[in-house]
Amino acid sequence: MNNYKILLIGCSGSGKSTLTKKLGDILNLPTLHLDRIWHATNYSDEAKQFLRQTQLDFIAKNDQFIIDGNYTGTMDCRIPHANLIIWFRIPRYVSMYRVITRSIKGKLNLENRTDMAEEFTEKLDREYVEFLKFVWNFEKNSTPRIKAMLEKKNSDCQLVIIKNKNDKEQLLKELIG
């Protein structure tokens, strides 16, 4: 595959952004981190339309690309344009550990998330607890919807499921030779 139109999807904390950065560097492709867009908004209905339109504009502007982010509410506008979808389906305890660890590192200023909107400040509040519940229940609540959306992907679009580090390393070998 020489013409890359890559989507990375999966639960928060699954490793999407880490692999996106690596692929962006290796393949030298324009990259869109959806968290940078979404978390710079006020989360309104207008913001949802803005997120959708930003993706469509990015896809129209770039012959090749990488888009990092799940956002099932706008996944339908990305899937038809992809020729490689990388779906992270790692154990939920791994995602939970990574989410909590990066939150702590963020609070201690030990980590700067370049994939996140600069104005976003994570608070350890009720909203954060709801987010952790979302992560914990992702497989049960979000996977059926993702599966249904992926059934509509183009027949020439490759789907790669990443369940662990070995799967990720194998994909990197295949992509970079």
- 5 or 118: whose pLDDT is higher? 5
Domain ranges in the chain are 5-176
**Is beta strand 31-33 parallel, antiparallel or unpaired with respect to 5-10?**
unpaired
What does the alpha-carbon distance between residue 71 and residue 11 come to, in Å, rounded to a whole number?
10
- Please tell me the pTM assigned to this model: 0.93
| 117 pLDDT more than 90 | no
Residues of the chain with pLDDT > 70, as a percent, come to 99
- Residue 1: what pLDDT? 56
- Residue 61: what pLDDT? 98
pLDDT tens digits, residue range 40-63?
999 999 999 999 999 999 999 999
Q: How confident is the model over 4-25, as a mean pLDDT?
A: 95
12-29 burial code (b ≥16 CB/10 A, e <16) = bbbbbbebbbebbeeeeb
Tell me which architecture the domain covering 5-176 has in CATH. Answer: 3-Layer(aba) Sandwich (3.40)
- Residue 111: what pLDDT? 74
| 67 pLDDT more than 60 | yes
Looking at every residue in the chain, the average pLDDT score rounds to 92
